[in-house]
Amino acid sequence: MDIDYNLYKIFLYLYEEKSISKTANKLYVSQPAISYSLKELEQQLGYTLFYRNSKGIEPTIEAKELYGYLSCAFNIIKNAEEHITNLNHLTKGTIHVGVRSYLIVSFLEEAIHNFLIKYPNIHFKITSLYEDDCSKLLENGVIDLLIDVFPFTNNNGIVKNKLDYWNGCFFYNKNQFHTSNLSYKDLSNFSVILPSFSSLRGKLDEAISSSNIQFSNIIESDNVEFIIDFVRKEKYVGFLPYEILDKLEDRASFEKIYFNDKNLIYDIYCCYKNEFLNPACKKFVEMLEKKESVN
Query: Which tens digit of pLDDT belongs to each residue from 179-220?
Result: 778 888 788 878 999 988 666 777 888 888 888 788 888 999
- For the stretch 261-289, pLDDT in tens is 566 888 888 999 888 888 888 889 988 88
Asked if 257 and 184 touch (Cβ cutoff 8 Å), the reply is yes
SS3 at position 172: strand
Q: What is the pLDDT of residue 292?
A: 52
Q: What is the pLDDT of residue 232?
A: 95
Q: What is the pLDDT of residue 274?
A: 85
User: In whole angstroms, what is the distance from residue 253 CA to residue 36 CA?
Assistant: 83
Q: What is the pLDDT of residue 133?
A: 67
Q: What is the pLDDT of residue 181?
A: 82
Q: What are the phi and psi torsion angles at 14 (to 5°)? A: -60, -40
Domains recognised in the chain with CATH numbers: 5-88 (1.10.10.10), 93-162+268-290 (3.40.190.10), 165-266 (3.40.190.290)
Q: What is the pLDDT of residue 41?
A: 92
Q: What is the pLDDT of residue 186?
A: 82
DSSP codes, 122-164: EEEEEEE--GGGHHHHHHTTSSSEEEEES-----TT-EEEEEE
DSSP codes, 77-124: HHHHHHHHHHHHTTSSEEEEEEESSTTHHHHHHHHHHHHHHH-TTEEE
pTM over 0.95: no
User: In whole angstroms, what is the distance from residue 103 CA to residue 256 CA?
Assistant: 18
Low-confidence ranges of the chain (pLDDT < 50): 293-295
Nearest to 144 by CA among 291, 293, 279, 292: 279
User: In whole angstroms, what is the distance from residue 256 CA to residue 246 CA?
Assistant: 10
